[in-house]
Amino acid sequence: MSKLTIASLASLAVLLALGASDVAAQSGDPFIATAEEGVVGVAEGSLLGFQDRGIWTYRGVPYAQAARFMAPEPPQPWEGVRVATNYGESCPIPEMEGVANDEQFNPHRYLPESEACQYLNIWTPGIDGNGDRPVMVWLHGGGFTNGSAIEQTAYDGRNLAEKGDVVVVTLNHRLNVLGTLNLSAYGERYAESANTGMADIVVALRWIRDNIEQFGGDPNNVTIFGQSGGGSKVRILMGIEGAHGLFDKAIVQSGASIGSAVMGQDLALRIAERTVQNLGLDERTIQRIEEVSYAELLAAAQQALDQVEQEGLTAEASFRPSIDSRLIPEDPVEAGWEKYARDIPLMIGNVLNENETIIREDPSELLADNKANWSAERTSQKMRERFGQDAGPIGAAWAEAYPELTPQDAYFFDPTRRQGVLYHAALKTRTGEAPVYSWVFAWQSPALDGIAGAWHCAEIPHVFANVELVPQATGGGDRAREMSHQVSQAWINFARQGDPNHSAIPAWAAYTPENGATIIFNDRSVVRHHHDRKIMDILYGGSAD
């Protein structure tokens, strides 16, 4: 590396970028990596990125290093210039058994995996040193088990960075058994093992605070946003001391549910105990757990989850963060928000159908029994199948809540995340003065005759201004672009100033339990007040908020 000239590094960066980017296929414009402009200095050394149609891009930037089950530490410095044009390895995940139902609608990318997965990616309009652009840090979905910073094609940050004149950051961190196994009962060596995945994110936010100004970002104006499991990560970060002061605003996308965001400590310790036993280890041989293969470790942990549930201790056993004596000493939402999130503005919402269409059902079957062809009698029959004696009242309440949608759409409504949104929005208004903005994404993609509705992840291409990058999901064209502008500009404005309002959407008031203000994103977006209260009262007895 030290023998390479800056010019040769620039040429190498061009070649690597041309061979590695999905975005390149969407444009005839060349990638440019110019040594005089493209080298940025960070705490560990110098990075050379590349330009994609005017947006500087830095991939695979190490923000930490960590041995298995150990706390993350700063990465090793390097000499010379590190070429930052390739994405870093992702955290290992359970082996996939087949193509998911939603692959057309949530197209994925997979790269090599490694337990050394602490890398982030940066897109920025300028590296001029001004350091005044809002920073938007994306936390990927997949629960705490799957996913990566680049797993979905729509996670690419280039278009959002350009549209909003913002700095976009995405990151990998430890997942599943590697990020959540609480081995603290086996000695001080493992005192910080319980939440290594969340600890990785905290260290990434510290790295961003210390270095993002070099990429044109304002370390004092950082927004964290995430979807599904990423939204849960946002909720947790809002309520832990270690992340306090590392971000200024938060956006939760389909990541709020009723119940704690973390497991109790006793349950986490029981899962770890069973995992250790399944590996044939004990207190004397515990350090061998650091050397067994990932596949063996994962199998032992998955067996432990099943065992705990079969023993009747709980039905909540899963790979997720837990209460510990270090990073998460108390429930981060119920106890932590009041301490650490009082001044954090929040946007929180969900998509209309979540898991009730192509996430759960085979698209071929949905297309064969297309809701658009249902008669009134067929619709009533389907509603009774799903909602029983509440079918009639829910159908009537649906017509009031969403008059622009069809009666058939009520059958595919998924209320669970909306219940979580209302609960957390109300809680946040009680634990601080910062505004809360509630939203529902109801836009129906034309793909496959609209059978998918607004599925889990449907808003992501719109948030990232990437509807043309995944036309198989969004349909592309003017209608998708107009929807994307409504959504992405709201996210950008919120990141810039804590208020999502802009000229292409109706006046969007901050939510309170009294006004129930919620924007419904659609071709003609509207703001309604307590629009779905009757539905939620029928389903949950008025307990949603």
* Confidence label for 542 from pLDDT (cuts 50, 70 and 90): low
Regarding whether 479 and 428 lie in a shared domain, the answer is: yes
Q: How many domains does the chain have?
A: 2
CATH classification of the domain holding 392: 3.40.50.1820
Q: Residue 492: which of 133, 155, 53, 234 has the closest Cα?
A: 133
Helices (H), 327-412: 336-340, 363-368, 376-387, 391-401, 407-411
Regarding whether 447 and 381 lie in a shared domain, the answer is: yes
CA angle 351, 356, 361 (to 5 degrees): 135
Regarding whether 475 and 388 lie in a shared domain, the answer is: yes
Task: Provide the pLDDT for residue 111.
Answer: 87
Per-residue pLDDT tens over the stretch 264-321 = 999 999 999 999 999 999 999 999 999 999 999 999 999 999 999 888 756 677 999 9
What type of residue is 339? K
Per-residue pLDDT tens over the stretch 465-488 = 999 999 999 999 999 999 999 999
Task: Provide the pLDDT for residue 31.
Answer: 57
DSSP codes of every residue in 310-341: HTTS-S---S--B--SSS--S-TTTTHHHHH-
Task: Provide the pLDDT for residue 15.
Answer: 41
Task: Provide the pLDDT for residue 131.
Answer: 83
CB 535 within 8 A of CB 460: no
Q: Residue 86: which of 36, 134, 20 has the closest Cα?
A: 20
CB 184 within 8 A of CB 193: yes
Regarding whether 518 and 382 lie in a shared domain, the answer is: yes
Regarding whether 387 and 271 lie in a shared domain, the answer is: no
Regarding whether 492 and 418 lie in a shared domain, the answer is: yes
Percent of the chain scoring above 90 in pLDDT: 86
Residue 34 above 90 pLDDT? no
Residue 5 above 50 pLDDT? no
Per-residue pLDDT tens over the stretch 235-271 = 999 999 999 999 999 999 999 989 889 999 999 999 9
* Domain contains 466: yes
- Give the span between the Cα atoms of 171 and 138, in whole angstroms: 7
Residue-number span of the structural domain to which 420 is assigned:
345-540
* Domain contains 361: yes
Active-site residue (options: 21, 228, 445, 484): 228
Residue 154 above 60 pLDDT? yes
* Domain contains 389: yes
**Number of alpha helices (DSSP H) and beta strands (DSSP E) in the chain:** 18, 15
Task: Provide the pLDDT for residue 94.
Answer: 95
Regarding whether 434 and 355 lie in a shared domain, the answer is: yes
Regarding whether 493 and 350 lie in a shared domain, the answer is: yes
Residue 329 above 60 pLDDT? yes
Average pLDDT over residues 363-383: 95
Task: Provide the pLDDT for residue 21.
Answer: 43
Residue 449, by phi and psi: left (phi above 0), alpha (psi -120 to 50) or beta? left
Per-residue pLDDT tens over the stretch 113-132 = 999 999 999 999 999 777 89
- Give the span between the Cα atoms of 354 and 414, in whole angstroms: 6
Task: Provide the pLDDT for residue 32.
Answer: 53
Task: Provide the pLDDT for residue 431.
Answer: 84
Regarding whether 455 and 511 lie in a shared domain, the answer is: yes
- Give the span between the Cα atoms of 343 and 423, in whole angstroms: 19
Looking at 284, 310, 336, which one is the last position of a domain? 310
Regarding whether 400 and 522 lie in a shared domain, the answer is: yes
Active site residue 90: no
Residue 1 above 50 pLDDT? no
Q: Find the largest Cα–Cα distance for the chain.
A: 76
Sorted by sequence, the CB contacts under 8 Å of residue 268 that are 6+ apart come out as 180, 182, 194, 322, 323, 324
Residue 215 above 70 pLDDT? yes
Regarding whether 393 and 494 lie in a shared domain, the answer is: yes
Task: Provide the pLDDT for residue 314.
Answer: 62
